[in-house]
């Protein structure tokens, strides 16, 4: 079976490494004859064909501009399809990648899967993020009806698809739960805390790329409120390396100068795992999330979570059991729950352990579910999901 993925994750063509995308796609390739990945890139970036494994290859479009993304995808697909016939096209989102997918489906009679990694439909918060999202919503209304399979990250997303939900499969991003059982040398942790002046501090951790959907201004506002009650805290934001006092970011500069912060870009998984281990509570301030992998990872490390009540968070968090849900955009509610956990360490530990058990029961390596969905799409009912 040959699958072609169309998307925008430049990690898959040798760009900046974000998360575990390379490992996940290498794993998919173990079940396929070929997995080809076409990714939008600008010609100025100078990225080249990228070999993830022997049968998993990333192809940058190196487009002059985004206007040429779709025609560039069509050209690359033609060459790949001549070498080995593509059976299924997987589109990272229902927007421009899916437009290219629809055109290819019509011309080459291939199966089409469209992924919803974001919470796009029936989500006012997402529409308010930028005016272009109205345009993208209209595009998705054109592409989704043409999909043979729709992959969503949560049951809440599936319900929002309305009459198209019969095409949908709820398969969240694969997560390697077992890796969280590996030990990190306690001495290394101690040295890291001392060298960064993080010892004897309660670390409030946020993990995620710098994107307006993450609503970091809300996180900063909430932490400022927390600091009024708890002076022994540190705000660590992994993925927020661009925030500095010198950047004159107004939302960041609202934080008290006495509050210690540790901001860093997303690095390798061991670095992120270390911060999960030393965190006291993990917080998500997002306006919208289709799933919430960070929340699952935090629970896997035995940490309690506090999150805005996005579609994805409501799927993961049992309010008061493994974490807390608060209204989207409510800094005071976010701060109140963080303070509660800081002041009640036994309850925080209990909720973290509840989360660890819950994660083991509900989540894990969904790779086989993804492969089975493709097999079902190709008519192999014996291996259907």
Q: If residue 124 lies in a helix (H) or strand (E), which one and from where to where?
A: helix 124-129
Exposed/middle/buried for 206, CB within 10 Å: 0-12, 13-18, 19+?
buried
Kindly state whether residues 378 and 343 are assigned to the same domain. Answer: no
Q: Are strands 50-53 and 56-60 parallel, antiparallel or unpaired?
A: antiparallel
β-sheet bridge partners, residue 60: 39
**Number of domains composing the chain:** 2
Kindly state whether residues 310 and 247 are assigned to the same domain. Answer: yes
The reported pLDDT for the residue numbered 268 is 55
The reported pLDDT for the residue numbered 262 is 83
pLDDT tens-digit readout, 248-295? 555 667 788 888 888 877 655 667 888 898 899 999 999 999 888 899
Kindly state whether residues 23 and 104 are assigned to the same domain. Answer: yes
List the end-to-end C-alpha distance of the chain, in Å, as a whole number: 16
Q: Are 114 and 134 in contact (CB under 8 A)?
A: no
Query: Which domain does 194 fall in, by range?
Result: 177-362
The reported pLDDT for the residue numbered 360 is 83
φ and ψ at residue 96, rounded to 5 degrees: -60, -40
Kindly state whether residues 107 and 186 are assigned to the same domain. Answer: no
φ and ψ at residue 291, rounded to 5 degrees: -135, -95
Paired tokens of 356 = 């660890």
The reported pLDDT for the residue numbered 384 is 36
What value does the CA radius of gyration of the chain take, rounded to a whole number of Å?
21
The reported pLDDT for the residue numbered 184 is 66
Kindly state whether residues 257 and 121 are assigned to the same domain. Answer: no
Kindly state whether residues 345 and 328 are assigned to the same domain. Answer: yes
Kindly state whether residues 42 and 169 are assigned to the same domain. Answer: yes
The reported pLDDT for the residue numbered 241 is 61
Kindly state whether residues 211 and 357 are assigned to the same domain. Answer: yes
Residue ranges of the chain with per-residue pLDDT less than 70: 17-19, 179-184, 240-252, 266-270, 380-385
Q: Which of 15, 67, 10 is nearest to 38 (CA)?
A: 10
pTM of the model: 0.83
Beta strands in the chain (DSSP E): 2-7, 34-39, 50-53, 56-60, 88-91, 111-116, 149-152, 168-170, 202-207, 233-238, 260-264, 279-284, 305-308, 323-326
The reported pLDDT for the residue numbered 222 is 96
DSSP secondary structure of 34-45: EEEEEE--BGGG
pLDDT tens-digit readout, 7-30? 999 999 998 766 688 989 999 999
Kindly state whether residues 235 and 294 are assigned to the same domain. Answer: yes
Contacts of 333 (CB under 8 A, 6+ apart): 326, 327
């Amino acid at each position: 079976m040959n699958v072609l993925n169309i998307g925008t994750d430049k990690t898959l063509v040798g760009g900046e490494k974000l998360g575990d995308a390379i490992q996940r796609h290498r794993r998919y390739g173990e079940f396929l004859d070929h997995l080809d990945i076409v990714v939008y890139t600008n010609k100025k970036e100078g990225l080249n064909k990228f070999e993830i494994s022997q049968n998993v290859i990333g192809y940058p479009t190196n487009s002059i501009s985004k206007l040429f993304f779709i025609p560039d995808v069509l050209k690359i697909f033609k060459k790949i399809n001549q070498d080995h016939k593509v059976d299924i096209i997987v589109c990272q989102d229902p927007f421009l990648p899916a437009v290219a997918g629809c055109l290819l489906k019509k011309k080459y009679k291939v199966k089409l899967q469209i992924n919803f990694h974001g919470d796009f439909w029936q989500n006012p918060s997402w529409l308010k993020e930028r005016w272009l999202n109205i345009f993208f919503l209209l595009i998705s209304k054109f592409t989704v009806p043409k999909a043979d399979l729709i992959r969503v990250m949560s049951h809440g997303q599936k319900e929002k698809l309305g009459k198209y939900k019969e095409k949908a499969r709820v398969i969240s991003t694969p997560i390697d739960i077992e890796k969280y059982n590996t030990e990190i040398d306690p001495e290394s942790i101690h040295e890291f805390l001392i060298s960064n002046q993080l010892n004897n501090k309660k670390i409030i951790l946020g993990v995620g790329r710098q994107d307006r959907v993450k609503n970091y201004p809300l996180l900063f506002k909430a932490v400022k409120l927390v600091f009024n009650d708890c002076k022994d805290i540190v705000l660590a934001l992994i993925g927020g390396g661009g925030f500095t006092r010198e950047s004159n970011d107004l939302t960041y500069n609202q934080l008290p100068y006495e509050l210690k912060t540790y901001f860093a870009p997303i690095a390798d998984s061991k670095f992120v795992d270390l911060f999960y281990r030393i965190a006291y509570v993990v917080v998500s301030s997002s306006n919208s999330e289709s799933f919430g992998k960070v929340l699952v990872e935090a629970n896997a490390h035995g940490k309690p979570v506090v999150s805005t009540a996005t579609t994805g968070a409501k799927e993961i968090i049992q309010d008061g059991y493994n974490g807390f849900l608060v209204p989207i955009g409510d800094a005071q509610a976010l701060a109140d729950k963080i303070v509660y956990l800081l002041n009640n360490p036994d309850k925080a530990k209990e909720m973290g352990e509840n989360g660890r058990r819950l994660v083991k029961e509900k989540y894990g390596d969904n790779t086989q579910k993804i492969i089975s969905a493709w097999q079902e799409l190709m008519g192999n009912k014996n291996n259907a999901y």
